[in-house]
Structure 1
Amino acid sequence: MKVSVLLVIGVICFFQQTRTSSVGLLRRDGNDNHVTLLGVTENNEMVVQDEDGEWTDPIENSCCVINVAVQPGGIVIGVGTDNQLYEWKSRGGEWSWVGPVENTCCVKSVRTGTRGQLIGVNTDDRLIVRSTLRGGAWRKLPKGCCYQNIEIVNDGRIYGVNRNNKIKVKTDIFTGRWKTLKIEGPLVRDVVHLDEDDISIGLSVDGCEIYQLDHGTMSWVPYMSLNDNCLISLGEGEDPVIELQEN
């Protein structure tokens, strides 16, 4: 039987300790929003971290993407292997990627802002922005080279993982200077900031380990080993609506 579920993970402070939410796998009542962690497997399928901190099996029909993000309202968007954007939607009760969305080429990573604004990294490793998913064309950001992944924080900060797997931070999308964060420990290929509890985590270069950034030592500390279920990218967002097969 198919059931619609909201998979929710709770976490705590940015650069501090982690905790996992005990919220169940059913749609929640009320207006509380909770951050969920998503990933893309080496087979280009979407997975989600459940309420126990475990990753689900690949979501049915979720191939083929290289990066995922969540729009305000819970709609998941994915960057296809063709470098265009798709929406995760139901058609006749069967969930799959719908698209590509017109004029969304050529992007390899994307994040969403609180008002639906999108920031991405194009195939030339440059930062690009658009007002909404269907709002106009991509515009290049000044001093936006050269990155492989990007992250937006609700307070306006931007984090970028550059070609050398170093993390840079900027206080605003359009203004200010980039500053390299001096972080001890392993290099990462992707980083997400979980706004609800203000914590950042990073995906190892080989995609098989997830680290948490400890603010006191400014170093990556172990968060989770993925063993043989390595990922190529991470994503996050509030209450994404995802359809799972129940055995």
Structure 2
Amino acid sequence: METFLSYGVTYIVTNSTSIATLVAAIYGIFIKRSTRRLSVRAVLLCQSPQSTLTKSDINEFLCGVYREDSCDWLCTQSSVDRNYRGPAREAFHIDLEHESMLHEDSLRELPIRDICSKLVGVHTFKGRGFWIVPEQAAEDLDEVDRLFGTCLILMHLRELYKNVGDDERTPDKHISHVIQRFVDEFGMYAEYLSKENVIDTLEVIQDAELEKMVKVLTKHMKRDRIKSRR
């Protein structure tokens, strides 16, 4: 309706159907973008063979991880990756959409950090064991998906640090051990931590140990890249 009105008003003012059509098209795109809900893409890696996880299953899982808190996220799509080759038995691509916040909202980082804190770690749901990671970093990912990926991978790193026993190692050796575990389990997603926005995310999280591990991991990744070029 708004697009039709913009066409009519522009035509009356300019008496040009071409200009009116162009203005209406641009206005329609603007309206569509401004009302687009906040959404992120993730991958659910399942260790259980022959698993089937529907949108309803994912939504039930989300309600479970939020427990008493209200869950404002909905799974709008779930599809199995037939071409997946990796450490898990199966992979499911899922789209999660926030019920009220818009994609362009300046406060979008708050619900993104919140859901990442719920998705981190290994989960068990209806007898299925799985963990959740972002889509692999690629050029076509938008700013929101990069933010989501960076935040989720950072929290996976912090979770490893908290849960991996130090076995009486020195702090530096413990960090090195955690980094190696992280590279083994999440190495293909480490590229998220080399992006500029990781600095902003770390400033918000305010975790000195996590920041130290990211610096060590960055050096590790840089060293590996140099070796691969030789």
- Normalising by structure 2, what TM-score? 0.23
- Normalising by structure 1, what TM-score? 0.22
Structure with higher RCO (Cα < 8 A, 6+ apart): 1
Max Rg structure: 2
